[in-house]
Structure 1
Amino acid sequence: MHSTYRAPELSIWKGRPSADRAYLHENIQALDLSNAPILKQTTLQPVLIGYSCDAGVSRNLGRAGAAAGPQALRGVLGRLPLLKDGPGFLWDAGDFTCPDGNMEQTQEGFSKGIELLIQHGYFPLGIGGGHDIAYAHYSGLAAGLKEGTRIGILNLDAHLDLRQPDPLPHSGSPFLQIAKLGSDAPTDFRYCCLGVRPDANPQELWERASELNATLIGRDELKPSTLPGVLDKIRTFLDALDALYLTIDLDGFASAYAPGVSAPSPLGFTPEIAFQVLDVVLESNKLISVDIAELNPEYDRDSQTAVLASGIIHRILHYPDLF
């Protein structure tokens, strides 16, 4: 396995003990990607995989600290209950680290990890780390899925993340990199950004999104009176896809709910809105992988951002008949 890979450590999973293995920390199984061959699963299996890197955030002039996000999320997630409609257990595939600031090397390893997981019957749940996780994640999906698969991206985020590398890639450039993946000209790019804000993106990015034919749903549309139309717009976006990759940047949430992020703002959306969107995505039966980016425990309060991220994963794990 890649040199940036760190195998899972089950000792970090802690929580309330129970007589009937009622909590997630009591139902974690290690999946060491460095131990080949990986068993091919006959039923879809959920697996956590960490992207312990915030070099891209620093390159994008954000506040560092998200490299510790994967461990912080595990610390909270393990305390949550595993209910009867959830999977029998959750796999932990460890982390890809960035000890020397070489983000590209971390992305290369993470991408290979995603490719392996997809090819062997797993449902990846990525934990960041900076939003540059998205380029690595999508690259792994593109390599692991059947050629010709129409993969779409739904990004819950205040930012379009369509910036040019300057000169190196960073946490603000992943979706432009995806659009140009494998060529100098944009490929068949299927991208929807939900929660995007006028105060968070310069004019250049709005024009680039238009050129790339991206579907944009503004933060101002995410209110009870207009939400039904938003959900219909998402369903229309999903109709044209074979598979969906969902990426959630926690800085899209209002900082009242998610203070522990790289770029906080009080103007973001609410968890209630995000969960309604998540339910529509899950209902489509097209969701194949998810990641949650920009969890920065250094700035969190009472772990509430980690609790929010864990709640998202918990809801996915317990969606009926997914696992």
Structure 2
Amino acid sequence: MASYEKTSYDIWKGRTSDKKLYLHEKVRCIDLKKEELTRNQNIGFSILGYACEEGVKRNQGRIGTATAPDIIRKMMGSLSNHFKNDVDIIDIGNINCVDGDLEKTQSFTSDKIYQILEKEYFNIVLGGGHDLGYAHYNGIKKHLPTATIGIINLDAHFDLRVPNGKGNSGTPFYQIAKENDHFKYLCLGIQEEANNRILFETARELDVNFIKNTEFTMKHTDHIDKTLINFINTVDYVYLSIDLDGFSSAYAPGVSAPSPFGFSPSIALHTIEKICNSNKLISADIVELNPAYDVDNCTARLAARLIYYIMKYISTL
């Protein structure tokens, strides 16, 4: 099963002012059980929490990511607000996984994402495990049934494992590939040590584009930019997924699968800006924060800043 709950304003905290100088003063929380999300008339962002770790548990990862959405919100609340008055930021609450029913949670999440996109908001989903990717893609597909949707994933892992009876946080993009005639997938930051030979074979069979972590650096921006442009030109819309375990553990220790050889925030921001500037990005998520293993909330703070920059880039187009 899946359950829904409104986000408490108490989670959004920070310095107070009479001029909305801080992000928590700009965010509006609504209860989808009682309020209808109105159609966006200006520049609007929605924030949805996917408080689910069942997929990580099934994938034998370190559990703890179910608490991530609210921790990210807390880190976002104190950030300075430089957005224009006509930019709306609406928090529409959390989806929780009940009784380990990942499949119903994913279906429920897809429906909510579809509803948000139908109201013309740019959607940002806070994970939770990367099993969110399956739900997120299907919500976009329901909104754009005839469009070619390209997936760009900043990640150490392909997440192309074959489901063993049920899906998990390592299977979402394989599930998408097998259920759709057109599978367009670009993965940036792939670590050879974190993906076995079968996963590389699967990636080749599915014609997946990827750049390894050794090349996903600021020294290789020409190659990265060319790869991004070539990929984006082949799709109608882009869905961006950011897995925090793709970052070096120096920046992101609070994840289920940390690695010292991950990529840096600099190349991630460079890439995100390029994607946003394409005008094809329709929805984004950030996944795999595990607050139980974070240090001084530095991984949660990284997640908050990445979301801030996505909204900044989109709102200034």
Q: Scaled by the length of structure 2, what TM-score is found?
A: 0.96
Matching residue's letter, 1:46: F
2:11 counterpart residue number: 12
1:297 aligns with 2:291: yes
**8 A Cα contact 2:67 2:291, kept in partner:** yes
* Whole-Å separation in 1 of the counterparts to 2:86 and 2:272: 18
Q: Give the aligned partner of residue 65 of structure 1.
A: 64
Partner of 1:158: 156
The 3-state SS of whatever aligns with 1:93 is strand
| Counterpart position of 1:178 | 176
1:271 corresponds in structure 2 to: 265
Once the two structures are TM-superposed, the CA of residue 316 in structure 1 deviates from its matched residue by 1.4
Q: Is the alpha carbon distance of 1:85 and 1:272 closer, same or farther for their aligned partners in structure 2, counting shifts above 3 Å?
A: farther
| Aligned-partner residue type, residue 173 of structure 1 | T
Q: How does 1:210-289 map to 2 (within 5 A)?
A: 210-289=204-283
Identify if the C-alpha distance between structure 1 residues 76 and 199 changes in structure 2 by more than 3 Å, giving closer, same or farther.
Answer: same
- 1:50-100 Cα distance to aligned partner (Å, 9 max, x none): 000011001101100000000100110001011045863410010110132
Which residue does 2:100 correspond to in 1?
Answer: 101
Structure 1 unpaired stretches of 5+: none
Q: TM-score, with normalisation over the residues of structure 1?
A: 0.94
Query: Could you say what the CA RMSD is over the residues aligned between the two structures, in angstroms?
Result: 1.6
Match of 1:308 in 2: 302
Runs of 5+ in structure 2 lacking a partner? Answer: none
Given residue 64 of structure 1, which amino acid in structure 2 is its aligned partner?
Answer: I
Name the amino acid aligned to 2:181.
T
% of aligned pairs identical?
42
Equivalent AA in structure 1 for residue 162 of structure 2: Q
Structure 2 counterpart SS, 1:4: strand
Q: Deviations over 1:202-242 (max 9, x none)?
A: 11111111111110111111233322111111111001111
Q: How many correspondences in the alignment?
A: 317
1:53 correspondence with 2:52 = yes
Amino acid at match of 2:148: R
Q: How far apart, in 1, do the equivalents of 2:44 and 2:21 lie?
A: 19
Q: How many Å separate the matches in 1 of 2:234 and 2:16?
A: 46
